[in-house]
Amino acid sequence: MTILIMIIMVSSFYLSACSSGSPAVTENISTENTRHMPTTINLPAESSENSTAESAASETAESEPAETEPAPEPVPPGAHPLFAKKIPIAVMINNKPVARPQSGLGQAKLIYQMMTEARTTRLLMFTDVDSGVLGPVRSARPAYLDLVTQYKALYTYAGNGNVISDSPVDGLIRRIDALGAAGRLFYRMSHRKAPHNLYIKAESIYNFAGKQAPVNLSNPLPGFSIRNGFELPEGGVKAKRINYQFTHSESFRYNEKTKKYAKYNGDTCLVDEQTRKAVEAGNVFLIYMPHGKMPNGVHNRINWVGSGRALYFTGGMKYEVTWSKASHAAPMYFTLNGDRLVLNPGLTWVVVLDQQANNTVTIS
């Protein structure tokens, strides 16, 4: 009986973390909304350089040349670079239901949600927090590597490092591998079963990496710029709830008080495991990218070099934007009405959709 009461109390605590946000929307999208946005949103994928991700091209590619620290990039007035002081950590976060809630999401600056195998997703979480628990950590995947290199990040993962060795960005990635020299930094916790219980601390990553090469930046990294205060872009269409599905229903639900979107899995609000606070994003992107297979027939292949269209959500509004990435190691940029997009404060969450998931998207 005591155990049962404890379980009920913990469950109630997690659910209450999002109680201040917008309530779950159960109605269908109104007729008025569907005049602006159809019930199903199909994001078109623009052509990329070379072959598309669905081609059967070889896994081996010409290596990207080694790079020095980039020159400073102009930052718009009233904004600041996403990463200005330290090279960020990029952690492969387990996103299976048994691994939630995860640690470190509340301190993340940028998250990419992408499929691995069997339509499950993992989170590539970027953070430059000085200290804190991060995890659970899972293994590397090839489709994420171009995203790691855009911010010269410390790629933190648990095995499968051969996908990095076989990639064109091998020489650009600083590895923090649980099965490599950094293995002693990782540890397992007893509240979950393996492989859903592997963690690491941010301070351990920076201490380890700093002994090999500098982690402090002399110039901010090129890439996203963040406004110093909230500002709603002109135009746009109301978008209070964003629904999509890989295997189970997921959504972002707008909170008028915080001016951010709370992340939900089903009707369960996602919280940070350490702080127990709701994970909210000031910026949400949906990008449709064709998914192919690597030569091993298992891992997903995505060609990030090129440009295309995406949907951007901030302040309870939806905008059509364009993304571009000039090379494997170049940062991704978004433009709105021909101008480079400056993001609002808070976490930026990018959902990368294949065709099947793209067909499930609804906005209300």
**Which of these, 91, 78, 130, 86, lies nearest to 343 by C-alpha position?**
78
Single-letter amino acid code for the residue at 44: P
The CATH H-level superfamily of 22-61+79-363 is YerB-like (3.50.90.10)
Cα–Cα distance between 188 and 6 in angstroms, integer? 23
Cα–Cα distance between 235 and 319 in angstroms, integer? 8
Cα–Cα distance between 169 and 149 in angstroms, integer? 7
Q: Where are the domains of the chain?
A: 22-61+79-363
The answer to whether the CB of 104 falls within 8 A of the CB of 125 is yes
Question: What pLDDT was estimated at residue 229?
Answer: 97
The answer to whether the CB of 76 falls within 8 A of the CB of 341 is no
pTM value is 0.85
How many residues would you count in the chain? 364
Asked whether the bond before 233 is cis by omega within 30 degrees of 0, the reply is no
The answer to whether the CB of 81 falls within 8 A of the CB of 75 is yes
Question: What pLDDT was estimated at residue 41?
Answer: 52
348 alpha carbon, distance to own chain's centre: 7
- 350: helix, strand or coil: strand
Cα–Cα distance between 145 and 287 in angstroms, integer? 17
Question: What pLDDT was estimated at residue 29?
Answer: 23
Query: What contacts 217, CB < 8 A, 6 or more positions away?
Result: 69, 83, 84, 85, 86, 87
CA distances 250 to 122, 197, 234, Å, are 14, 23, 28
The answer to whether the CB of 83 falls within 8 A of the CB of 128 is yes
User: What residue spans of the chain are helical by DSSP H?
Assistant: 2-16, 31-36, 145-149, 162-165, 202-210, 355-358
Question: What pLDDT was estimated at residue 66?
Answer: 52
Question: What pLDDT was estimated at residue 74?
Answer: 84
236 alpha carbon, distance to own chain's centre: 23
For the chain, residues with pLDDT lower than 70 are: 1-17, 19-72
